[in-house]
Amino acid sequence: MAAGSGSGTRPGTPPPTLLTDLATGLWKTHTLTAAIETGVFEALAAGDADAPELARRLGIGKRPAEILLTACTALGLLEQRGGRYRNTAVAAHYLVPGLPDYFGGYVQMVARYTAPGWLRATEAVRTDAPTKPVPDPDRNMFEEGNRPESFWEGLFTFSTLTARQLAGSVDLSGVRRIMDVGGGAGATLIELCRRHPHLSGTVVDLPHVCALAGERIAAAGMTGRIDTAAADFFADPLPSGHDAVLLSMILHDWDESQNRKILASCLDALPSGGTVLISELLVDDDKSGPVDAALMSMNMLVGTWGRNYTGAEYTDWLRDAGCSEVRTVRFSSPGANGVVAGVKA
């Protein structure tokens, strides 16, 4: 057989596998979403089942049940033995509602909230403006009503998993009280305080987000160690009394001039010797990748006025803002691959 004949290409030409994988990426996303929303993983947590049995449990037809189960098995979400299906270890840990690391909310948030902007990605590239629909484009995209509560809830597990890696990678032994600026529903600070018993802190965010954070902090039993402070970090001074400030997956939302303002405000709130921590998916300094940071930057293009930046860019901004001893610590997590830290002179 001639080389290349099996792939349908001329001999010596590369197969189009990369392109078909990219073109059909949406199929994988929405297969997972459909399985979550029809309750496949929750149903199988109660015990394995064949397709007709699961169809009855879910209240769907046998044909779609067979198709969906086959697809989920091919994607590594289910296992099939003797015609009976069960959750894989990943699905059992992350996709069963009610478990601590339930990830389904994030998947649904991406499918419902993020995807509409992605469907107009070409428009975003051509206009250099977000294409993600918001109820009131004349207001801050994070204001109450402009992002659904499901956005903050969906990010909670995503942020939790990221914070676990951050907590184990950065030396916080010298930090007593940390301020999480733009801290959302509090996932990051909750995890940092769990990992470091000496640590306490404050979640700073808009008032309606602080209300969500207060509920999560109380549920985690951290009310005595973590408090909230409602503030707009572009308009309001940040609270004092902290020896470190964390910006976790925040600066990618904004352009350079706005980020410099945020950093200036953070440094104003810190004493000399205080630390600024920027945790992000860092783009390589030569801007060749990595894939997760590059695609998150595309996500910022369709949804915000920001992008993902390089470690070198953050280093320059911190030094310009008055930081010394700037360093980058690398790690691997869903939402960040490193933290750039600087000490206020």
At residue 134, the pLDDT reads 75
Instruction: Give me 68's structure tokens.
Output: 């969906």
* pLDDT over 90 percentage in the chain: 89
Which run of H or E residues covers position 268?
Answer: helix 256-269
Average pLDDT, the chain: 93
> How far out from the chain centre does Cα 262 lie?
20
Checking if the pLDDT of 186 tops 50, the result is yes
Of 30, 93, 242, 252, which residue is the catalytic one? 252
At residue 4, the pLDDT reads 45
Per-residue pLDDT tens over the stretch 74-128: 999 999 999 999 999 999 999 999 999 999 999 999 998 899 999 999 999 999 9
Angstrom distance (rounded) from CA 275 to CA 186: 20
CA 117 vs CA 6, 103, 113, 133: distances in Å: 37, 21, 8, 7
Say whether pTM exceeds 0.85.
yes
At residue 146, the pLDDT reads 58
At residue 12, the pLDDT reads 86
3-state secondary structure of 283: strand
pLDDT interval class at 3 (50, 70, 90) = very low
Checking if the pLDDT of 5 tops 60, the result is no
Tell which residue, 180, 229, 170, 171, has the closest CA to residue 200: 180
Question: Edge-to-edge strands of the sheet including 226-230?
Answer: 226-230, 200-205, 177-181, 244-248, 275-280, 338-344, 323-330
Q: Clarify whether 252 is annotated catalytic.
A: yes
Task: Give mean pLDDT, residues 278-305.
Answer: 97
pLDDT interval class at 10 (50, 70, 90) = confident
